[in-house]
Amino acid sequence: MEENRKLNINQWAEADRPREKMISKGAEALSDAELLGILIGSGNTDESAVELMRRVLASCDNNLNELGKWDVRRFSTFKGLGPAKSLTIMAALELGKRRKLQETGERAHITYSKDIYNLFHPVLCDLPHEEFWLLLLNQSCKVIDKIRISSGGIDGTYVDVRTILREALLQRATQIALIHNHPSGNPTPSAEDRKLTQSIARASQTMNILLSDHVIVCDGKYYSFTDEGEI
């Protein structure tokens, strides 16, 4: 492939062209850079679309989850990636996230903390700010609804206990789970997290509603209050 480095994709050997390769061998045969190269269509005067995307991926450790956190400004630091191409990549990554959300929604039966993490990781993993969500469950531990309670800054978000109980009562949930993210990447709960958890646990108990867990989501890891014996 080295001899293809500075050639236009149309000048490559047919077997090396990403579109032709996808047609003949299927999408699974293409690398991440080749798939992204198809999306942007062209590179710059020095490198092909595929070569450009290899360099972009290398800058984020070849991690598509990290790439999904980029904004247009970050993409534009690479020659050949203007707003149109950047938005195309961002849209494709968002579609991938939504597909994953639909897949987890089809298996929306909550048994373990990992089930909660898998359900909310696509929602929360890329956010630069903190969000607090409520998961409503029925007696069979099946999901009734997912509700964003609040959205805040980097260091925290405001949560109204009355709002949580109202939502649970309105939708006749018998169990609830609390979920929020730590943009810092450290899932360890703060003193405020622990205080809030205990406050909601006491309040929900008076309504005969079980607080089944509070999960702090980070990208690739999480903290479960139930797993750690704090609920």
**Same domain (yes/no): 215, 144:** yes
Point out the domain boundary residue: 70, 101, 132. 101
**Same domain (yes/no): 95, 201:** no
**Residue 230 falls inside a structural domain:** no
In tens, the pLDDT along 166-213 reads 999 999 999 999 999 999 999 999 999 999 999 999 999 999 999 999
C-alpha span between 220 and 228 (Å, rounded): 18
Token pair of 18, please? 């990403």
Point out the domain boundary residue: 101, 130, 160. 101
**Residue 31 falls inside a structural domain:** yes
**Same domain (yes/no): 121, 74:** no
What residues pair up with 215 in beta bridges, in sequence order?
179, 224
Task: Measure the N-to-C terminal CA separation of the chain; round to a whole number of Å.
Answer: 56
Point out the domain boundary residue: 52, 67, 101. 101
- Mark the ranges of the chain whose per-residue pLDDT is less than 70: 1-16, 101-108, 153-157
Q: Please report the pLDDT score of residue 96 as a whole number.
A: 86
If one counts the domains in the chain, the total is 2
**Same domain (yes/no): 127, 168:** yes
Q: Which domain holds residue 190?
A: 109-224
pTM: 0.63
**Same domain (yes/no): 27, 64:** yes
62-98 exposure pattern, b = at least 16 Cβ within 10 A, e = fewer: eeebebbebeeeebeebebbeeebbebbbebbeeebe
At 223 the three-state DSSP class reads strand
**CA pseudo-torsion sign 161, 165, 168, 173:** positive
**Same domain (yes/no): 77, 164:** no
C-alpha span between 41 and 61 (Å, rounded): 23
Q: Please report the pLDDT score of residue 2 as a whole number.
A: 46
**Same domain (yes/no): 32, 130:** no
**Residue 229 falls inside a structural domain:** no
**Same domain (yes/no): 113, 179:** yes
CATH of the domain at 192: 3.40.140.10
**Same domain (yes/no): 95, 148:** no
